[in-house]
Amino acid sequence: MRVSFKHLVVGSLLLFGGAACADLEVVNLTSADAERALATPADVEALIRGSYDSWFQGWASYNGMGPIMSNQAFQHTAPWANFGMEQYGRLPRIATINDASDGYYGYLSREWTYNYRAISAVADGTKALANQEIADELGAEAVARAKAFGKFVQGLAHANLALFYDMGFVVTEDTDLTEALEPVPYTELMTTALGMLDDAIALCGTSFTIPFDWMASDMDNVKLAKLIHWMKARYMAELGRSPTERASANWNAVISEIDAGFTEDWTMDLDWNAGWYASGLHYAGRSDWGQLNNFVWGMADQSGMYQAWLDLSIADKSYQLLDGTPVLWTTPDLRFPRGSTVEEQQASPGTVVRMSDDGEIGGTWARPDRGTWRWSWYKSIRGSTYRQLPPYTTVQPVFPLAEARLLKAEALYRNGQLGAAADIINETRVPAGLNATDAGGTNTSCVPKLPDESCGDLWEMLKWEKRMNTVYTGIAFATWWWDARGWGDLYKDTPLQYGMPCQELQVLQMEPCMNYGGPGGEFGSPGSSYAYPGEG
């Protein structure tokens, strides 16, 4: 990674955006039209209101990195070239291709585009609030709401950039874009973002109500503050690029932030008729689009089939063993189908996982040239609950309570409070039909059963529960990826971060463009903690 940055006068040259899906456009933050566009209180409020939508559309769309990351984390897998899933899901892994001429560049740069659109909107809107005439017309409550909401989105957008990219620019309403700006590394970007979120919490001390269409959720100042606390906890935990970095997070602060949040799921009404279309979740749940891969999900199995599958070469891995025996997961975990045959499991789905029905079998087995190791009999119920409710109108848990609770369990575990961590793990583990664990990591159910055939300890049970309760949730619907990065569970050579989009660097004359991951590449996974056969 570059250790020094070239100072530049950015002004209108700073390409805060580029484009989604290779629709290359320059967003001029100093446009002379800005003043005319913000001439009325309604204009100002609309700009700030829309900033959250920009942030949401950055990570919730299939045009972003979500499908890629889901495949890389083995949350699901698909052989299709769409969204870069096949290319960046390959084994062995390849490095990122940070080049605007590459067909999948738009997916790697979308998060940059939409977060800086959100940041730009907040900066312009907040500056406009300084106009006393506009402030007076809006009224005290509306001004307080706009300032708190804007600071909230400002923090979210900078935090997302820190999660995804190696570096980025800090831009606020006080930034002078006629002066030189210098990018800062992801750690500094996150520190700044968390400070913005603290400022937003302070601004939530004033009473206000947020219209439903601003966030597709019933919100007021109290609820907004609770959400911000939870988001801070998530960002603190997910920033680390390695087990060492994740372990160094402020876990005491994570506990405090979780405790200051909600006592139930935080949801959004993802109604595409109202503009809240979560296409990333839609396509993840398509039964003809992908399946659940054996690498992680197979750890539920108690029959020995998972280990038999692992022992096969990458070329020989498939939905059946070489002798034609179906690779089925037999487990006491009620989140998985019951039975020991395809037919029995089809008739008895679990609460999280189901067996493909006869009409689906083979639908995603059409491209053996792209790796039969991707193939399995299993589908996610979680994603299908969104897709199967046309026209995609349903309340969805964007931040589940279970995620917050298990994030707290990780903090307790890291602080040595193993019994307290076990108590939280048991809140979801026991209802799933598994044994209650304890501070010593008792695991008589032997779920998960690791690739080395050992029964997972307390740490592995915590990770298992986190995975089972966060399928297709979180930023980019890829909590699995953020956790796997920090836990050291991503397959060898998987990129651990993404480079600042090359088009931005070229405009700013800051080349070379950075690529990460792939054999011998920087910021690539050194190999999963599970030491899957074939990683070396």
Domain end point (choices 207, 237, 260): 260
Domain count, the chain: 2
Residues 251 and 307 in one domain: no
Give the pLDDT score at 391.
Answer: 55
Residues 372 and 240 in one domain: no
358: in domain: yes
Residues 106 and 219 in one domain: yes
Q: Which residues contact 138 (CB under 8 A, 6 or more apart)?
A: 41, 44, 45, 129, 146
Give the pLDDT score at 273.
Answer: 83
CA 297 to CA 281: how far, in whole Å? 19
455: in domain: no
| Angle between helical axes of 479-487 and 458-468 (0-180°, round to 10) | 160
Residues 332 and 251 in one domain: no
Residues 179 and 304 in one domain: no
Give the pLDDT score at 392.
Answer: 62
Residues 169 and 311 in one domain: no
Residues 253 and 303 in one domain: no
pTM: 0.93
Q: Which of 364, 23, 73 is nearest to 238 (CA)?
A: 73
Domain end point (choices 359, 376, 393): 376
Say how many C-beta atoms besides its own lie within 10 A of residue 39's C-beta.
Answer: 12
28: in domain: yes
Range of the domain at 304: 294-376
Residues 142 and 217 in one domain: yes
Three-state DSSP at 146 gives: helix
Give the pLDDT score at 235.
Answer: 98
Three-state DSSP at 525 gives: coil
389: in domain: no
CA 273 to CA 286: how far, in whole Å? 19
Residues 302 and 237 in one domain: no
Domain end point (choices 216, 234, 260): 260
Give the pLDDT score at 35.
Answer: 56
Residues 123 and 247 in one domain: yes
CA 389 to CA 184: how far, in whole Å? 43
The residue ranges of the chain whose pLDDT is under 70 are: 1-38, 383-385, 387-393
Residues 247 and 328 in one domain: no
486: in domain: no
Give the pLDDT score at 16.
Answer: 41
26: in domain: yes
For residue 355, give the H/E element and its range: strand 353-355
532: in domain: no
Q: What is the CATH number of the domain that holds 157?
A: 1.25.40
Give the pLDDT score at 285.
Answer: 74
CA 146 to CA 149: how far, in whole Å? 5
Give the pLDDT score at 508.
Answer: 86
CA 491 to CA 325: how far, in whole Å? 26
212: in domain: yes
Give the pLDDT score at 201.
Answer: 98
Residue 218 is given by DSSP the state -
Give the pLDDT score at 443.
Answer: 98
Residues 175 and 117 in one domain: yes
